[in-house]
Amino acid sequence: MSVATHFADEAQQAHAARLGMWVFLASELLLFAGLFALWAGYREHDPAAFAAEVRRTDLALGSANTFVLLTASFAVVAGVRVRRRLGFSVAIGLGLVFLALKAWEWRDHVREGLVPGRDVFWTLYYAATGLHALHVIVGMTVLGSVAAMRRPADHVVENAANYWHLVDVIWLFLWPAFYLARA
């Protein structure tokens, strides 16, 4: 990989790229933190009504997606450490499974009249899961691009993988917020 003129050497360039990615990931956390703050505030306001709406989300599909994303993250690790193209391809496939299950859920909810704007809970549900689904699509695109590269630098592969892991971590918190908090 060529070194840009403002870097002394390849190691410094790689360190800057890694640091930049972590700062970006931290800013992504803050993006979702706004939605979690709204969730926590509204739930605190009326816990019983909020739990009643949580009981209407699809626990089976939401939970299946948790296992899908955890496994996709493991595939990404295998991609970084063993076989990049195979690992990343499996993760992209699991990303597609995640999106298909999510679309199935949304379709069922819309048919029941549970649409954005119905009340605070459902607006938040679609905003949070929609924003997350968008991140899954971006993650799949990033993994696909890096898988297609002939010889990507180590830090490029790691940065792509870490973006995917962050998307996984965010889901780990969306899951209890919108599926598990039923009481």
Q: Is 99 in the site for other proteins (CB under 8 A)?
A: no
- Near other proteins by CB under 8 A: residue from 16, 61, 99, 180: 180
101 sits near other proteins (criterion: CB under 8 A): no
Site for other proteins in 130-169 (CB under 8 A): 158, 161-162, 165, 168-169
| Nearest distance in Å: CB 15, other proteins | 8
**Comparison of 107 and 176: residue with beta carbon closer to other proteins:** 176
Is residue 17 at the binding interface for other proteins, with CB under 8 A as the rule? no
CA distance 174 to 109: 17
The token pair that represents 6 in the structure block: 């403002």
Question: What angle in degrees, to the nearest 10, is found between the helix axes of 10-45 and 154-175?
Answer: 10
Among 1, 134, 148, 172, which residue interacts with other proteins (rule: CB under 8 A)? Answer: 172
Residue whose pair of structure tokens reads 């009326």 in the numeric block: 46
Q: How far is CA 147 from CA 16, 22, 83, 122, in A?
A: 22, 21, 10, 37
Q: What's the first-to-final CA gap in the chain, in angstroms?
A: 54
Residue 122 or 164 having the CB closest to other proteins: 164
- Write down the H helix ranges in 82-153: 84-111, 120-148
d(Cα 67, Cα 83) in Å, to the nearest integer?
22
Q: Which is nearer to other proteins, 21 or 133 (CB)?
A: 21
Residues that bind other proteins (CB under 8 A): 15, 18-19, 22-23, 25-27, 29-30, 32-34, 36-38, 40-45, 59, 63, 66-67, 70-71, 73-74, 76-78, 81-82, 158, 161-162, 165, 168-169, 172-173, 175-176, 179-183
